[in-house]
A = this chain, B = another copy of it.
C-alpha cells in the first residue's frame, strides 16, 4: 500500500509554518506498516491541488489530504474535490447536528459561515469530526481511496487515530504488522551498522531492520508482516538486544522525555535540572510531556557564571581552577540543585554551544553532563557538533538518555563519586 500525503495551504509554501502534520502522519503510518512514497505541499489553488491529486493517484493507493477545509472563502479543498470527482455539494443533517452539539458544549453561537460546513460532496463517505467543524471525507476511485481531513493538528490526529488508520488497516492490510523499536545511544550509525551487518544478513525472509537516527541517539525498528511470525520476532529481538550490548537503552517508541517521565513515575522519583548551555531546554522537554508535574519540580538556569555561584552555590575557586565546563562544576551543580529543590534525581549541564566561546582546550561542542540519583553521581564529557541549534538539541537528548540509563541501572561511561 503506497500512501501519499498532500498538505494544502499557502502558509506551508512561504515558510510560515513547518509541515509537522506530514511528519506526524509519516511516523504513525510507517509504524503501522504503511509505505509513504511522497509528501507534497501545495497552496490554496484549485489547479495546483488537482494536479497534485492526479500525480499522486499515478503511484499511490491511498491519498491523504490535509488542510483547506475551514469555513472561509480561501479554503477551497471541498469545492476542488467536487470538481475532481465530478460531483456537487449536498446538505447533510448529521454533520449539522454534530457541529451544533460541539458548539453547544463550548457555549458558542453557531453562525451562517459555520453552517456551510454541513455541505458535503455527493458520493463521499462522511466521517464525523468529533473535535472540529469540518467533516472528514472519504472518496473512492476504483481500488484506491482519497481522504480529506482538517489541517488543524489536533483534529487531524484525533481522526487519524480513531477513524482513518483503523479503517485503512481493515481495508488495505490483510496481515498484521509486527514491530519492535530499540533505543540505542553511545554509538555512531556507521559503527552500529558494522556491528549489526551479520545479524542483518541472517535475518529471516520478510524481516526488516530500519535505522532511525536522531541527535544523540538512534532508534532501530525491527519489523515483519504476519501474526504467525510472533515467535520469530521474539527470537530475533532477543538476538538484537544482545548485540546492542551496553549501547541498548530501552525498547520503546516513545519520545525520550516521555520515557524518562515513565521511569521516574514508576520509581516514584522526582527530578530537577541545573542548566547552563542548554538554557532551560531540558526543563522544557521534560515539561512538554502532559502530567510532568508528577515528577518534575523545577530548574535553575545559570547562564551567567555569577548565577552558578550565587544560586547554585558552585565553588568560586573550582570555577577558577577547572573552568565552568568541567566535571567538578557539573557535579556541584547536580548535587546542589537536587538539594535546593529537594529532588532525588537531577541533571546538570555545562558546555560551549557556539558559535563563539570555544578555546583550544575546550572547543565549541565540549559539554559536561552530570546526572544524579540518590547519592550517586555520574559525570560524562561529550563532544557534540559545531552548530548551536543542533548542539543544544543534542546535549539535551544526551542528558535525558544519561539519566534514563542511570535509572535503569545501565552502565554509563564513567561513574564518579
**Which residues does A use to contact B, with CB under 8 Å?**
11-20, 22-30, 36-43, 45, 48, 51-52, 55, 58-59, 153-154, 210, 212-214, 273, 275, 278-284, 286-288, 290-293, 296-304, 306-307, 310-311, 340-342, 354-357, 387-389, 392
Other-chain residue from B16, B27, B310 in contact with A14 (beta carbon distance below 8 A): B27
A48 to chain B, nearest CB (A): 6
Contact A14 B41 (CB under 8 A): no
Query: Closest CB of chain B to A287's CB: distance in Å?
Result: 3
A293 neighbours in B (Cβ, 8 Å): 303-304, 357
A23 touching B18 by the CB < 8 A rule? yes
For this chain, the copies found in one complex come to 2
> Of the candidates B12, B59, B153, B280, which one forms a contact with A26 in the assembled complex, judged by CB atoms under 8 Å apart?
B12
Whether A41 and B38, one on each chain, are in contact in the complex, defined by CB atoms closer than 8 angstroms, is yes
Known contacts A13-B39, A278-B284; 18 additional CB pairs below 8 A are A11-B212, A14-B27, A14-B212, A15-B24, A16-B26, A16-B27, A18-B18, A55-B55, A275-B280, A279-B284, A280-B283, A283-B301, A287-B303, A292-B303, A293-B357, A296-B303, A297-B307, A298-B304
Q: Which residue of B lies closest to A19 (CB)?
A: B19
A388 → B minimal CB distance (Å) = 6
Task: A42 to B40: give the CA distance in the assembly, Å.
Answer: 9
Within 8 Å by CB of A18, from B16, B20, B153, lies B20
Chain B residue numbers with a CB within 8 Å of A298 are 300-304, 307, 311
- Give the residue among A55, A296, A301 with the most B Cβ atoms within 10 A: A301
Within the assembled complex, what's the spacing in Å between the Cα atoms of A29 and B16? 12
- Assembled-state Cα–Cα distance A292/B301 (Å): 13
The complex places the Cα of A358 from the Cα of B43 at a distance, in Å, of 37
A15 engages B38 (CB within 8 Å): no
